[in-house]
Amino acid sequence: MIKKIPVNQLEPGMYVSDFNAGWLSHPFAFNSMLIESEANVAHVIAAGIRELFIDTEKGRDVGDGVATAMEAKQETESQVNRMAESARPLAPEPRVSLAEEMMRARSTFSEATRIIRNLMDDIRLGRQIEIATTKPTVEKIAASVMRNSNAMMTMRRLKSLDDYTFLHSVSVCAMLVSFAKVVDMEMSAIHDLALGAMLHDVGKMRVASAVLNKPARLSEDEYRHMKSHVVLGSDLIRQLPGIPSLAMEPIELHHERFDGSGYPKGLKGMEISPAGRMSSIVDVYDAITSDRVYRKGMSPAAAVQKLFEWSKFHFDPEMMQLFLKSVGIYPIGSLVKLESGRMGVVIEQSNSHLLTPVVRVMYDGKRQHYLVPEDVDLSRPLGSGGGDRIIGYELPEKFGIDISRFLL
């Protein structure tokens, strides 16, 4: 049986089936392993892991009173749903339609990817860098998100496997702007924040590529070297003329964690600025939902549940609630199951309710065959295009569905 335990109950002989910390924030080769010694336990604690899953069939069991993985998952789901039901409406109505904004979002997204790629190449090659072209691009991203954030959120779901670091930079930028819109930040502050988001990982270009792209476990030294990207990037960007102080915050703070388990400074709670607390959530969300060469990304809806669960320790719970308002409980690209038995892909968030997005219905879950795609606005009553209800999310790989085919 899979059980969820706090890390202080972890003992040698137990088999960890899931470290419950995202792939990137722990230094273990695989997401499962037998705990062989007290040194292994200390290693897990040092990595900032607070709760994890053990498989009691493959290793030692734990005492009573511990939730099974299924119970823990259901508890998180019901907490997220309760939060969603009581949440106030989202940001104001989009100013233009999704179809209209998609055209601009597509060219802005690829322009931004090209610019950050060039900038990062310059850093890697030790050339002089300047950010004169980066500023207008991040302002274009911000303008697109302000007109209709669904377009940029669709573009980030369509990104390919290649060039993760560049695409991650653009994606984090777009998501942080969308988040800032929900927290009602002023436009000039949003521009500064977006610039910092775009540059948040530039320090990775000073990390050895053998470490940066290593799909296997990092040694202690390699992990330390990887973590140095925060300080390397901050030092590099801080000395550029005209860098606003707010732009430094995503760069310096995106790996800090609310419980003090992050790096480089191990700041805790409100010692981390609001922009820093926002950046860490967005960075992890994009990382765990992205496909990599060596693993498939998590479904957006599953990632929302995971982040909410981790927010007990790693993220500011209040910021987490605001983040959910910006992406929804079923973010764009989620495969959802409807009460009618049909299934579809979320293509647009609703402005009135977190649980009623627009869904492109395209699959009959009961008979397991494709349907002629139909866009259903779940915030509308029956007869005017709506009238169905989401009962949960599904994993596309279970049905062999390629989500990106239905996003455009």
User: How far is 394 from 381, CA to CA, in rounded Å?
Assistant: 24
Q: Do residues 337 and 365 touch, judged by C-beta distance below 8 A?
A: yes
Specify the residue, 108 or 134, whose C-beta has the smaller distance to Fe ion: 134
Specify the DSSP class assigned to residue 81: H
406 close to 345: Cβ distance less than 8 angstroms = yes
Q: Cβ closer to Fe ion: 140 or 229?
A: 229
Q: Which is nearer to Fe ion, 101 or 252 (CB)?
A: 252
Residues 81 and 392: their CA atoms lie apart, in Å, by 11
Q: Which residues bind Fe ion (CB under 5 A)?
A: 201
**Of 105 and 197, CB closest to Fe ion:** 197
Question: What tokens appear for 132 in the block?
Answer: 């004169």
E strand or H helix at 317? helix 317-327
Report the nearest approach of Fe ion to the CB of residue 261 (Å): 15
Query: Measured from the CB of residue 281, what is the shortest distance to Fe ion in angstroms?
Result: 13
CA distance 286 to 303: 9
- Asked if 153 contacts 407 with a C-beta cutoff of 8 angstroms, the reply is no
Nearer to Fe ion, 201 or 309 (CB): 201
Q: Which residue is nearest to Fe ion (CB)?
A: 201
Torsion angles phi and psi, residue 246, rounded to 5: -65, -30
Residue that the structure tokens 């601009």 belong to: 104
Output the smallest distance, CB 229 to Fe ion, in A: 6
Sorted by sequence, the CB contacts under 8 Å of residue 285 that are 6+ apart come out as: 175, 303, 304, 307, 323, 327
Nearest to Fe ion of 4, 156 (CB atom): 156
- Least distance in angstroms from the C-beta of 24 to Fe ion: 8
Cis peptide upstream of residue 264 (ω within 30 degrees of 0)? yes
Q: How far apart are CA 124 and CA 319, in angstroms?
A: 34
Looking at the Cβ atoms of 15 and 23, the one nearer to Fe ion is 23
The nearest distance, CB 376 to Fe ion, in angstroms, is 38
Q: Least separation, in Å, of the C-beta of 271 and Fe ion?
A: 19
- Smallest distance, Å, CB 133 to Fe ion? 22
Shortest separation between residue 192's beta carbon and Fe ion, angstroms:
19
269 sits in the region (left: phi over 0; alpha: psi -120 to 50; else beta) called: left
Closer residue to Fe ion in complex, CB, 41/212: 212
- Can you name the residues that pair with 3 across neighbouring β-strands? 54, 68
